[in-house]
Structure 1
Amino acid sequence: MRNSLALSAALVLGLPQVQAQPNAAATAAAVSTPLHQAAGRDDAPAIWQLLAQGAAIDARDAQGRTPLLVATHGNHIQAARALIGAGADVNAKDQIQDSPYLYAGARGHLEILTMTLAQGADLRSTNRYGGTALIPASERGHVETVRRLINAGVAVDHVNRLGWTALLEAIILSDGGPRHQQIVQALIDAGANVQLADAEGVTPLQHAVQRGHTETESILRAAGAR
């Protein structure tokens, strides 16, 4: 009714007609395929059946997500294993530049991350902030994920669009607790540049001091930070 009244008013007053925007949930449901739905409920047998029937493994939903990315969002390991085993693209990005690999790394979904790495994840790929998977993993305190990404060969000194490295985010966006202390040490052990400052020239050590992260400060000083 509201859309009809608006259209009538526009015609009477000579106003430009504005097309009603479709409901986002309805659009997503319309675009989402049965394979997306099976991935969303972690239904590996249904995934195999749909693929055998010719379902497009990398089809996109309304947000540009593949079924594998939907599975990764839910940390649905069985669905992810089925899709990756069938050759799903672990680097396919959605409309906000997340891929299964990047999202698994950022969220600490370690089992799915490991599968994406084995399937040829692009270690140089970046998210919408220009950051590698290592940077949000460091910020969020995913210790084992950080170690896995370092071992895989992700560049430890990559700088995102905010001017921050993984080391800087592990300090600036954390409480300085034990998990982030372990991450700071892991990054240093992997060769992170402890002198590499942010876009405003503030060093990791200066950030740690400003925030009262005394343990992190000690780790940085032991590594020669100034």
Structure 2
Amino acid sequence: MDGTELHKAADKNDAALVILLLAEGAEIDARDGTGATALLIAAHANAVEAARALIEAGADVNAKDKINDSPYLYAGARGHLEILKMTLEHGADLKSTNRYGGTALIPASERGHVETVKTLIEAGVDVDHVNNLGWTALLEAIILGDGGPRHRQIVDLLVKAGANVNLADGDGVTPLQHARTRGYGEIEQVLVAAGAR
């Protein structure tokens, strides 16, 4: 068996079939053509029940596909909170990075997934990790965010978690300068209160 039935069951969120296939000897971490395991397929589909069945059966939450996505990283980046929490309970590698050299916290911050950011901070992900673009979670929340309520909350969470508010991007531009350039007044206030220059 090449894992395709297991991948399909995961994609359809058919937990009963996942359990049956595993009992019949399906290889739990078999890869498809993209290098994805069934658990990563479940994470893509936000198929919570299938993901739970796979994780409880011992699927690798850190298994990466050909573009360096793992179930843990993908669930974090997409804000698939239930799956993310399961991966964290089952050995997610908090130091693992995506194809941009970023932790799960960085895309979660950029995309405005407040609860996910909170969960990742509580799990202990490095708030000051710098990705290949020279950006931290704080910089991405400002540069790629929309300055709205969710991104303001995320900036606040990151600052309260001890993010270095003066950690500049690769060009030496600080979070405060980015916030000012974009006219994000409320984010600017949070940064200034935290000692941003």
TM-score (norm 2): 0.99
1:130 aligns with 2:114: no
What root-mean-square deviation, in Å, do the aligned CA atoms of Structure 1 and Structure 2 show? 1.0
Indicate if the aligned counterparts of 2:39 and 2:55 stay in contact, CA closer than 8 A: yes
**Aligned-partner Cα distance in 2 for 1:158–1:98:** 17
CA distance in 2, matches of 1:52, 1:161: 42
- Greater C-alpha Rg: 1
How far apart in 2 are the matches of 1:135 and 1:210? Answer: 21
Aligned partner (choices 81, 90, 94) of residue 110 of structure 1: 81
What corresponds to 1:154 in structure 2?
125
- 3-state SS, counterpart of residue 20 of structure 2: helix
SS in 2 for 1:171: helix
Is the 1:31–1:62 contact (alpha carbons within 8 Å) kept by the matching residues of 2? no
2:169 aligned with 1:187: no
Q: Distance in 2 between matches of 1:38 and 1:120?
A: 24
**Structure 1 partner of 2:43:** 72
Write the distance in 2 (CA, Å) between the matches of 1:144 and 1:33. Answer: 33
**Does residue 61 of structure 1 match 2:32?**
yes
| Deviation (angstroms), 1:95 | 0.4
Equivalent pairs, count: 197
3-state DSSP class of the match of 1:71? Answer: helix
Residue matched to 2:14: 43
Residue 164 (structure 1) aligns with: 135
Return the letter of the residue paired with 2:29. D
User: Residue 98 of structure 2 aligns to which amino acid in structure 1?
Assistant: N
d(CA) in 1 for partners of 2:187, 2:8: 44
Aligned positions of 1:205-216 closer than 5 A: 205-216=176-187
**Distance in structure 1 (CA, Å) of the matches to 2:2 and 2:168:** 45
CA shift for structure 1 position 31 = 6.0
Following superposition, which runs of at least 4 residues in structure 1 exceed 2 angstroms of deviation? none
1:33 shift after superposition: 1.3
CA distance in 2, matches of 1:191, 1:222: 13
Contiguous gaps of at least 5 residues in structure 1: 1-29
> Which moves more between the two structures, 89-98 or 31-40?
31-40
Instruction: Show the counterpart of 1:17.
Output: none
Inter-partner Cα distance in structure 2 for 1:117 and 1:83: 14
